[in-house]
Amino acid sequence: MFKQLNFFFILILPLVFKYIFLFFFIDLELFDLEDILEDIFFFFAIILLFQSKIFKKQFFADALYVIYIFYFILETTSYIAVLSNFSSSYMYLLIESNNAELNEFMSTYINIPILLFIALMSFLFIIIRKKRFVIKKIKKPIIEVLSFFAIVIFLKFTGLIESNAYHNIVRGTYGYFQLQKSVNLKTEISKKNIQINANNEVLVVVLGESTARGHMQLYGYKRETTPLLNAIKDSLFIYNNVISTDVFTLKVIPKMLTSLDNTNTNKEVINIIEVFNKAGYNTFWLSNQRPISFHDNAISKIASASNKFKFFNHIIDKHTVVLDEIILPDYKNILDQEGKKVIFIRLIGTHFDYKKRYPKAYNKFVSELEDTTDKDKTINHYDNAVLYNDFIVYSILQDLKKTNTKSALLYLSDHGENVYDDGDFFGRTESNLKKNMFDIPFFIWTSNEFEFPDDFEYMPNRKFMTDHLYESLGHLFGVMHKDMNANHSIFSKFFKKRKRIVVNDINYDEHFLTKDE
């Protein structure tokens, strides 16, 4: 009995030391109860495996010890390095990264606490292997197997398995290779099929997230949520009637950045990034969202065509506390580099959880009443997030202005958000569509030297849907692939109006707009 308890005590030490290190070296608010529960269930699953007859043999026992110890190394060092558990996003980056990028990552994030923890785990591996205690075997081995799989099934159906490093290794690897097949992008683009009509130098495309124009002061909202952009609105081309095709990011962005639209969903599509690559531009993708998850795989494949891409966030959207300002230093460095360039910046924007999207300094909209409802608090959090988003977009624009180049910036959101604007709920759903879910901000800024297309026309109330952003970007910047139709560009005086069919074959203009609109 003593040997069994001794074995149990030693085996639980890696779990205990994980939380000791996290207590001293990170903010405990970064992980929640689900992480702790998953670790406990993982520990008991390992205990059950040790009772299997196969692990009587030294080789298999050692293999299990390594798997067990390495799990805690992955989980703990990941939290210490980047404030997140080891997610499937990391596998995407590990597979995509070259040696130079991996060396850069190692030199940036390896620190003394990480080295100490690795050394401690290595020492515990030696101790566990040396002691070689054996737990009393259960008389019916089938009970061990069934119990182990019961734990795995429980973790899967409760969602707790999403915190498991090994689950994310498998899912990330599988997701990466599935990603290569999931989007039918045409990779062979001939330069002879691209017509360059201007000599512009820098294009910045800022992709917002879940930001409804109805909550922006720039579009007439009652609160001062965009004071910085408002101050320079006379230098912006602001479009008032742009909508998204869908209410989910995965469905929207591929239609924005490729030749895919609502009418050609089955054909091989062309990536706008590849078009700019062939036209001689250096392309960059900076993202404060995960590179691979349930939702973003196709988008990551589009992004991977960039000459250089970097993901700053690896945490599930609603849990992340990584603010968009993290992108700004890298963005400034790219602007300082010589050569023509196109920079795509993907923000976390005003994505739920809204209160995690801004620092305390932007907690402007608050209610001091004790009986403030949860509804009012949610609206306040969202508007604060919009306020911070105003600072981010304004900062990106100001840095671009300093380059004194032939440059342009386009800002738009992937989709909107219903924040108690129509109905007693917030968020988005295809089963209860609301106007604010589609209504997005859309504006451009250009330098004085920028070369506009000959047929440029500014029509602020033009009815436009973002599945023709692909043509609009090429047209605006003077880089046109042969399959692009300038009549689809929001910036062309030859723009052809069409029915705006959104989710569930709904005609947006007939369903959501009044006759006066």
Tens of pLDDT, residues 58-69: 788 888 889 999
More confident residue, 181 or 124: 124
Higher pLDDT, 101 or 321: 321
Backbone angle region of 374, left / alpha / beta, with phi > 0 → left and psi within -120 to 50 → alpha: alpha
**How much is the average pLDDT of 343-366?**
94
Question: How do residues 193-232 score in pLDDT, each as one tens digit?
Answer: 999 999 999 999 999 999 999 999 999 999 999 999 999 9
In the prediction, which pLDDT does 99 show? 64
pLDDT at 432: 86
The H-or-E segment that residue 342 falls in is strand 341-346
Q: What is the pLDDT of residue 340?
A: 98
- Rounded Cα gap, residues 70 and 91, in angstroms: 15
Who has greater pLDDT, 105 or 362? 362
For 191, the token pair is: 């330069």
| Mean pLDDT over each residue of the chain, to the nearest integer | 86
Q: Are strands 185-186 and 269-270 parallel, antiparallel or unpaired?
A: parallel
Distance CA 90, CA 292 (A): 8
Segment 247-274, tens digit of pLDDT: 888 788 988 999 988 776 556 789 999 9
- Residue 52's pLDDT is 72
Confidence at residue 465, expressed as pLDDT on a 0 to 100 scale: 98
Tens digit of each residue's pLDDT (9 = 90 or more) over 78-111:
888 766 677 765 675 576 555 655 665 676 668 8
Residue % of the chain over a pLDDT of 90: 53
- pLDDT value at residue 331: 98
The region of weakest confidence among 111-120, 328-337, 452-461 is 111-120
Q: How far is CA 266 from the centre of its chain?
A: 26
The burial of 320, by beta-carbon neighbours within 10 Å (0-12 exposed, 13-18 middle, 19 or more buried), is given as buried
What pLDDT score was predicted for residue 307? Answer: 94
Give the model's pLDDT for residue 261.
85
Low-confidence winner among 169-173, 178-182, 303-307, 406-410 (lowest mean pLDDT):
178-182
pLDDT of residue 391: 98
Backbone dihedral region of 498: left (phi > 0), alpha (psi from -120 to 50 degrees) or beta? beta
Closest CA to 182 of 42, 89, 62, 300: 300
Residue 215's pLDDT is what?
98
Across 145-167, average pLDDT? 84
Q: Residue written as tokens 């005590």?
A: 9
Q: Which of 4-13, 133-142, 346-355 has the lowest mean pLDDT?
A: 133-142
Query: What pLDDT, on a 0 to 100 scale, did the predictor assign at position 187?
Result: 65
User: If you average pLDDT over residues 153-180, what whole number do you get?
Assistant: 77
Mean pLDDT of 327-333: 97
Strands (E), 120-218: 185-186, 194-196, 202-208
| Residue 294 confidence (pLDDT) | 40
Non-local (6+) Cβ contacts of 182 within 8 A are 297, 298, 301
pLDDT at 137 over 60: no
Kindly state the average pLDDT of the residues 318-334: 87
CA distance 498 to 219: 24
Between these two residues, 84 and 359, which has the higher pLDDT value? Answer: 359
User: Which range among 138-147, 262-271, 324-333 shows the weakest confidence by mean pLDDT?
Assistant: 138-147
User: Can you give the pLDDT at residue 60?
Assistant: 82
Residue 180 has a pLDDT of 53
- pLDDT of res. 28: 66
Q: The pTM is what? A: 0.73
Q: What is the pLDDT of residue 296?
A: 47
Our measurement of the distance from residue 239's CA atom to the centroid of its chain's CA atoms, rounded to an integer in Å, reads 26
pLDDT value at residue 9: 80
Query: Is the pLDDT assigned to residue 171 strictly greater than 80?
Result: no
Mean pLDDT score, 396-412: 98
pLDDT at 245: 94
Average pLDDT over residues 315-342: 87
pLDDT of residue 362: 97
Q: Tell me if residue 448 falls in helix, strand or coil.
A: coil
Of the pLDDT bands very low, low, confident and very high (cuts 50, 70, 90), residue 35 is confident
What pLDDT is attached to residue 315?
61
Provide the pLDDT for residue 319. Answer: 53
